[in-house]
Structure 1
Amino acid sequence: SNVLLDHEMNPKISDFGMARIFGGNQSEANTNRVVGTYGYMAPEYAMEGIFSVKSDVFSFGVVLLEIISGKKSSGFYHLEHGPSLLAYIWKLWCEGHAAELMDSVVKQSCDQAELLKYIHIGLLCVQEDPMDRPTMSSVAVMLASDIVTLPKPTQPAFSVSRVASGQFVSHSEDHCSVNAITLSTMSPR
């Protein structure tokens, strides 16, 4: 989404089209025209056109989990774990194997306990119910603090899969990290 934060962490809409939809003191709005990249859009926006400041929290969580895992949300497919990066991460988290998620490039430059904290924060950001997601100011406090006790995340929203049509499916088991290389995937909406 096109939302910026000011120096006091207040959200400011930078997309004029969306700004016209919002009223003066609204924190949530609805649109009939959904724009964005699937895999990063909050499910309530992608499926119902409802967006709020919590939509950006969802997108931030996806990006954070992508950085840690070295895998892209859009185009992710794993034969054993299914078509969703969030489903794969949630499965590893619930099994106590979240450390397996970490990209080797990131793992070398960060403490494992710190990376596990970031995974935890990422999962809090991608929870299905927007009311369960933290605010961005809370996320900033969680990221900066070593003392904060983090709440237990609930099952994340899983992005809509395009596996049925055969798009984005890769059956390669080779290790690939978006932290080591840059890939571009072009696909029409």
Structure 2
Amino acid sequence: MKPFIRQYLLLILAGSIISIGIVISAISIIKDNPISGRNFIPVNAKTAVELVPGKYTIFYEYNQSTKQFGPLTITSNNKNVKLTDWLQISVKNHGNELSLKGDSSLSYSINQNVGESIISFKVDRQDQYEISINTKDFSDIDALRFTLIADFTERIFSVFKNFAIYMLISIPFVLPGFWIYIREEKKKSRSGF
């Protein structure tokens, strides 16, 4: 085996494994992007959705150029009323209602559309879930658009976990590769090359 190949073979192999891990992780993020695969939920209707275990968030989506702050109304005492004050949101599985938690911590933007989180909930098992968003007080129902998105942080964590596995796979090649590299460099320095 040529000294150059012997010196760098394991390091090249480890670098290839890490590169494959980066490519697979990037493809996984692009392919399974929860925002592009979001489910739209109509108002005053029941929507059946197949969900897998994990955390989900319901977002209010609006066009930024026309409804910059979302639909707000002014009451007689000049107080702003939040969107969630007009809505009755429920998520049921075989008649059992899931626990919903108010959540305004997340947002997304796609082109001119902005989504702001309003409710989050957790699903423990894969099944068919019935989501209903009802309102009686808001007259412009066409202006209301809601989306259901799986938790993006869990997806990112999964991608980093997979990348870490590729890093661990490369360690048995990196350590001996460095040892061989150092040994060959010492041989070169002793022989005067």
Q: TM-score range by the shorter chain?
A: under 0.3
The higher relative CO (CA closer than 8 Å, separation ≥ 6) is in 2
Bigger fraction of residues in strand: 2
* TM-score scaled by length of structure 1: 0.21
* TM-score scaled by length of structure 2: 0.20
